[in-house]
Amino acid sequence: MSYLDNEGAPAWKAWLTTTDHKRIALMYLSLIAPLFLAAMSLGVTMRIKHLHGGDFLISAQTYNELFTLHGVVMIFMFVIPGLATVFGNFFLPILIGARDVAFPRVNLLSVYLFAAGCALALFSIVTRGGAADTGWTFYVPFSVRTGTDVSLAVFSVFVLGLSSILTGLNFIVTTHRLRAPGMSFHRMPLFVWASYATAWIQVLVTPVIGITMILVILERFFNVGLFDPAKGGDPLMYQHLFWTYSHPAVYIMIIPAMGAVTEVIPTFCHKNVYGYKAIAYSSLGIAFFGSLVWGHHMFTSGMAELADMIFSLLTMIVAVPSAIKIFNWTATLYKGSIELTPALLYALSFVFLFAIGGITGIIQGALAVNVFLHDTYWVVGHFHYVMFGGTGFGFFAALLYWFPKMFGRMYNPKPAYWAWALMFVGFNVFYFTFLVLGTMGMPRRYYAHLPQYDTAQLLASAGAFTMVSGILILAGDLVWALFKGARAPDNPWGGMTLEWKTASPPPKENFKERPVITSGPYEFNPGRRA
Amino acid sequence: MPFLLQASSLSVKTDRLFLASVAVCAALLMVVVFFIVYFCVRYRRSRNPEPVDVEANTALEIAWTVFPLALFLAVFYFGWTNFRYLRDVPQDAMVINVTGRQWAWSFEYPNGKQTPELYVALGRPVKLVTHTLDVIHGFFVPAMRVKVDVIPGRANYVWFTPWLLGDFDIQCTVICGVGHSRMLSKVHVIPEADFKRWYFSDEPVPKLQPVSARVPAAERGLAGLLRAKECLACHSLDGSPSVGPTFKGLYGSRQTVMGPGGRSQVTVDEDFLRRKLSDPQAVQVEGYPPVMPPARLSERELDSIVRGLKGL
């Protein structure tokens, strides 16, 4: 009996009180997917605005609220939780042969906290002050002085952070305690390694953002002066605290996507992963070094030059484990038997776009160049290559890969190919133009832009519209498949990991009998080795 | 602004590093893309139905760890040395206080003059010390490649030596409220003579001429000409050391040279400059590498450069 069966209970009760990790994953998906589309439409509105350099369509105040909301929703409600809560919740227990996560009821609590955090952020739009207009970074003293409802927005981040910590804790304990007999650490699928590394970052650094957000609220209500030089405080302390979380958060966003891609590539090459250990430990390397580079967001802030130097150096070092992953993914294709399915196409696009995100990071990580590029469209282009080209395409690849398993339905691959073409071309026209605009000196978060940027802004908007049409086609294809798709077999792709050894969709508690593990996760061709 | 317009001494250094790291990174990316595409074609299922499990090669893993690390560390190193240059203000820089508030800039010169737009003399270094009356702002002049956050309680600074006459955009780069995108100003680079005339007068702001009319014909765009001929890649205008001798104070100085007749002392005069510019390899100045390429100058360009160098 599939996990989707309510067993006679009313549907609302069966879903809202469930402790099944798979149902919780779908609850997350049902929250995250509409929020993603909503935040995307905010982005589209901004791209329409930039068809004109001056006053057009919306007011400057509305524009500032739009990019803040776009950032807050995308980052805290899609990119950070996206892969971990949807695919992590669904597949982490299955991939290690467990029946559920270690603390199923805590898991349910975390989805409720997540929903509450989302509701608070959306509620801030209609409160008296209106949506925050500070950018998702909430820099003081502007975030303390502005009349918009920053307090509610940062409190929502606090609540979302609690949810994230609980999920991370659950994953760490699950990975340590609930592995099937024979599942040693070096036999774990690499998505598990990635989720495990991510979970440590979530547990260790998320408290910092929680505290920082509370400090902003204290400043707004009681004017304590922690960040006010007139009272002996320092605005840079806020930036340090904020980025101590928010840079590692970048790796919370990207590592699970790397993990998902690492599952997709070997399956459609029908061969083992190249460099299993290198990929596994590079996730831990990223998690460690990624926690020590936050200062590269502050090279123009006037902090000590020694600090600038150290942060720049560490920034170069954190790029190395990512480069190692890229080389190993590429080498995995060697001597494979490659089926360019939609899932693999999105996964390889992830590799390409994430690589551009990485190298633009190297370029802007050089101190002198950073002084030029910081806070321009270059940086906006860079982090969209990482966050959307990386995590976004990784999310789509994971969705296309695991969709038959999660819902027991097959989707039509043709629209997924068309959607890919529109998204890939549109994405690059859009964000590569952003990189160019940055080198032309276009600052970010600008409602009005100077005439010299008109042409490039137009081109970027055209790319954005193309990309969005691709996203909508993909969404339509998957929604259609949800209701009308053909029944999926248990193992439609020929995968080797444990999720393909149970039914589609999986039964309650995942396996009829507890699996016993006797080999590594990717031994596709035990008879043919080189 | 034209793409990567270089209006200051800093801009050439920054751009050289920027373009070099773009080239290196793009090459690395192309290698990866080549292999992905090649493998997808060569090992497609219809052509290669029998996959093989390949064991990782430790030497290869080490190679592709160390190689990018070395490249990235090189990018870091040059980023750091160029950054030191950006932070190292010349002794003779004029100190101008920049104050940001929601949503305007103002500039205060050493003698107390205040302007809403910035006026600087061609070829003269300026140090801009930043203050804010309210929230954080960002002071950014793309053409000069300088940017600094303007933070309450902190006197941050940037410096640059403008070497192109013209009017360049100043833009705020840190979100500061509803007027953020209109918190704009200009840097006006004017000839030093015009700057001095204004500075010691009662005029509130200098009368701006069109850029083409800002200098007497004889001096028109010396810096521009030197840059166009790529002289400034190796020679500085402000006395800072580089590959070749600085132009500042070069005219009239004594130098030891190696020529066809052996080692000798010369005074840098008009005749020497003409000989050196016409055939750089004929005579070498001691203490500098013998690497100067032929300059390919017209008679008129040669005249303006020689005349211009006299005045530096």
CATH number at residue B176: 2.60.40.420
User: Same domain for B285 and B266?
Assistant: yes
Taking residues B218-240, what's their average pLDDT? Answer: 73
Between A464 and B246, name the one with better pLDDT.
Answer: A464
- The predicted pLDDT at position B4 comes to 82
Average pLDDT value for residue range B114-119 = 96
For residue B130, count other CB atoms closer than 10 A to its CB: 22
Predicted local distance difference test score (pLDDT) of residue B2: 59
Q: Say how far apart CA A519 and CA A311 lie, in whole Å.
A: 41
Residue A213's Cβ-count burial label (10 Å; 0-12, 13-18, 19+) is buried
Same domain membership, residue B57 and residue B23: yes
Residue range A381-419, pLDDT digits in tens: 999 999 999 999 999 999 999 999 999 999 999 999 999
Cβ B230 vs Cβ B223: under 8 Å: no
Enter the tokens of residue A353.
């776009």
- B33 plus B144 within the same structural domain: no
Residue A515 in any domain: the answer is no
Q: Is residue A145 part of a domain?
A: yes
Find the helix or strand (DSSP H, E) in which B169 lies: strand B166-172
Interchain contact, A230 vs B153, CB within 8 Å: yes
Q: Report the pLDDT averaged over residues A212-235.
A: 94
pLDDT above 60: residue B186: yes
For residue A490, give the CATH number of its domain: 1.20.210.10
Which tokens in the block code for residue A365? 């990580």
Same domain, B99 and B181: yes
Instruction: Point out the domain boundary residue: B50, B71, B87.
Output: B87
Res. A261: pLDDT tops 60: yes
Q: B288 is in which domain, residue-wise?
A: 217-310
Same-domain status, B138 and B245: no
Residues contacting A1, CB < 8 A, separation 6+: A7, A507, A508
Continuous H helices in A340-412: 342-365, 367-373, 377-384, 393-407
Residues 127-186 of B with CB under 8 A from A: 134-136, 138, 140, 142-143, 145-149, 151-154, 156, 169, 171-182, 184
Spell out the residues 6+ positions from residue B145 whose beta carbon is closer than 8 angstroms to its own: A371, A372, B6, B8, B10, B11, B14, B15, B160
Spatial distance between the Cα atoms of B72 and B21, rounded to a whole number of angstroms: 9
Same-domain check for residues B282 and B177: no
Query: pLDDT band at B218, cuts 50/70/90?
Result: very low
Output the pLDDT for position B220.
Answer: 54
User: Would you say residue A288 lies in a domain?
Assistant: yes
A106-120, A326-340, B206-220 — which is least confidently predicted? B206-220
Position B51 scores a pLDDT of 93
Handedness of CA A236, A241, A242, A243 (dihedral sign): positive
Residue B276: band (very low, low, confident or very high) from pLDDT cuts 50, 70, 90 = confident
**What confidence tier does A487 reach under pLDDT thresholds 50, 70, 90?**
very high
Amino acid letter for position A473:
I
- Find the largest Cα–Cα distance for chain B: 87
Looking at chain A, the whole-number percentage of residues with pLDDT higher than 70 is 100
Calculate ∠ Cα A431-A433-A436, nearest 5°. Answer: 120
Residue B280 and residue B236 share a domain: yes
Residue where one domain finishes, among candidates B64, B87, B110: B87
A51 inside domain = yes
B215 — pLDDT class (breaks 50, 70, 90): low
**A4 in a structural domain:** no
Helix H or strand E encompassing B199 = helix B192-199
Q: Which of A123-132, A316-325, A328-337, B43-52 has the lowest mean pLDDT?
A: A123-132
**Domain with A167 in it:** 16-501
Q: Mean of the pLDDT values across residues B6-27?
A: 92
Q: Which of B32, B61, B79 sits opposite A366 (nearest CB)?
A: B79
Listed residues B148, B182, B213: the one ending a domain? B213
Give the pLDDT confidence score for residue B240 in this predicted structure.
81
> Does residue A506 sit within a domain?
no
In a domain, A377, yes or no: yes
Q: Is residue A526 part of a domain?
A: no
**Residue A372 and residue A366: Cα distance in Å, rounded?**
10
Query: How far apart are the CA of A152 and the nearest CA of chain B, in angstroms?
Result: 18
Q: Say how many residues make up chain A.
A: 530
With beta carbons less than 8 A apart as the criterion, state whether B94 and B62 touch.
no
Torsions phi, psi for B130 (to 5 deg): -105, 145
Reported as a pLDDT band with limits 50, 70 and 90, residue B217 is: very low
Closest partner residue to B148 among A300, A324, A356, by Cβ? A300
Report the residue of B6, B53, B72, B98 to disrupt the A interface, i.e. the one with the largest count of A CBs within 10 Å: B53
Residue closest to A19 by CA, chosen among A134, A111, A126: A111
Over residues A97-111, mean pLDDT? 97
Average pLDDT, rounded, for chain B: 89
Co-location of B114 and B196 in the same domain: yes
For A174-208, how does the pLDDT look when each residue is reduced to its tens digit (9 = 90+)?
Answer: 999 999 999 999 999 999 999 999 999 999 999 99
The yes-or-no verdict on residue A509 having pLDDT over 50 is yes
The position carrying tokens 């031994």 is A523
Angle between helices A393-407 and A21-49 (to 10 degrees): 140
The whole-angstrom separation of Cα A434 and Cα A302 is 26
Q: Is the pLDDT of residue B216 over 60?
A: no
In a domain, B1, yes or no: no
Please indicate, yes or no, whether residues B227 and B263 belong to a single structural domain of this protein. yes
- Number of domains observed in the structure of chain A: 1
Same domain, B75 and B133: no
For residue B176, what is the nearest residue in chain A, using CA coordinates?
A142
> For position B58, which CATH number holds?
1.10.287.90
Q: What residue type is assigned to position A398 of the chain?
A: A
Alpha carbon distance B308, B312 (integer Å): 7
Please indicate, yes or no, whether residues B193 and B228 belong to a single structural domain of this protein: no
Mean pLDDT of B38-45: 96
The answer to whether residue B102 sits within a structural domain is yes
Q: Do A327 and B14 touch (CB under 8 A)?
A: no
Query: pLDDT > 70: what percent of chain B?
Result: 96
Residues B73, B172: one domain?
no
- Residue that the structure tokens 């050439």 belong to: B12
Q: What is the largest CA-CA distance in chain A?
A: 73
Task: Please tell me the total count of domains within chain B.
Answer: 3
Say whether pLDDT at A111 is over 60: yes
Q: Which among A82, A80, A67 has a CA at the least distance from the CA of A31?
A: A82
Q: What is the mean pLDDT of chain A?
A: 95
